[in-house]
Amino acid sequence: MDCIFCKIVKGEIPSRKLFENDRVLAFYDIQPAAPAHALVIPKKHIASMNEAEEEDRELLGELLLTAKKVAGELGIAESGYRLINNVGPDSGQIVFHIHIHVLGGEKLGGLNVKS
Amino acid sequence: MDCIFCKIVKGEIPSRKLFENDRVLAFYDIQPAAPAHALVIPKKHIASMNEAEEEDRELLGELLLTAKKVAGELGIAESGYRLINNVGPDSGQIVFHIHIHVLGGEKLGGLNVKS
């Protein structure tokens, strides 16, 4: 496996952790797109939502509940935040290990604004 | 309850449905922000991810698996898509009933681009 997020899970690549348990990990994005920007990933390697299966249902739910928890940690629960999961070419997905972006800390841009 | 999405669930307001079961509903967004734009909602009223609780874990996972399924229905599974959940003021959340946007059908904009 040459997956950068699997290496972060194993501690082979450092990360600034926000939350961790046996199943999920949350850490700061190293290229923040907003004042607050974290990633929530499953420890299990799943390349993208396209590869998620029915058996992953609880794990996927835990990703969203962890994102909520992380928003609280980041102090953006009340001001608001956006959860984003990119899948495949048109989305700009770069790392092929499911990750949910948690973005906030400012008024965010529109749903699909081109730069 | 004066929730527009609860009214869609009850059939009091029409929608172009893509998928439905006892727990979730998917339908086309009436103000599309991309060539393909659907919404996936739980039938249970949950105002936002901030109000989601541990007991909603499986339901939240089903929302994501339904979003995957809907992307297949829309023909964007391979070209790629973005799942977005807005929470609170900074995100621009308008309807306070959890909804996951499924966006695709073109190269999407960046994560947080201002218009």
R_g (Cα) of chain A, nearest Å = 14
Helix (H, G, I), strand (E, B) or coil at B38: strand
Please check the confidence at residue A115 and state whether its pLDDT lies above 90. Answer: no
Instruction: State whether residue A21 sits within 8 Å of chain B by CB.
Output: no
Q: What is the mean pLDDT of residues A22-40?
A: 98
Please check the confidence at residue B33 and state whether its pLDDT lies above 80. Answer: yes
What order do you get walking across the sheet with A17-20 strand by strand?
A17-20, A24-28, A36-42, A100-104, A81-87, B81-87, B100-104, B36-42, B24-28, B17-20
Class of domain B4-104: alpha beta
Query: Could you say which of A81, A88, A112 has the minimum Cβ distance to residue B87?
Result: A81
Please check the confidence at residue A27 and state whether its pLDDT lies above 80. Answer: yes
Structural contact between residues A102 and A67, judged by C-beta atoms closer than 8 angstroms: yes
The pLDDT assigned to B115 comes to 85
Please check the confidence at residue B1 and state whether its pLDDT lies above 80. Answer: no
* Whether residue A99 lies in the annotated active site: yes
- Chain B CB contacts of A93 under 8 Å are 80
Q: Which residues contact B112 (CB under 8 A, 6 or more apart)?
A: A33, A34, A82, A103, A108, A109
Q: What is the mean pLDDT of residues B99-107?
A: 98
Quote the pTM value.
0.98
**Domain spans, chain A:** 4-104
Instruction: State what percent of residues in chain A have pLDDT above 70.
Output: 99
Name the phi and psi angles at A8, rounded to 5: -65, -40
Structural contact between residues A103 and B113, judged by C-beta atoms closer than 8 angstroms: no
Instruction: State whether residue B21 sits within 8 Å of chain A by CB.
Output: no
The string of pLDDT tens digits covering residues B9-21 is: 999 999 999 999 9
Structure tokens at B62: 């089903």
- Chain A CB contacts of B62 under 8 Å are 57, 61
Shortest CA gap A47–chain B (Å)? 13
CA-closest candidate to residue A71, choices A35, A115, A23? A35
Q: Which residues contact B34 (CB under 8 A, 6 or more apart)?
A: A111, A112, B103, B104, B105, B106, B108
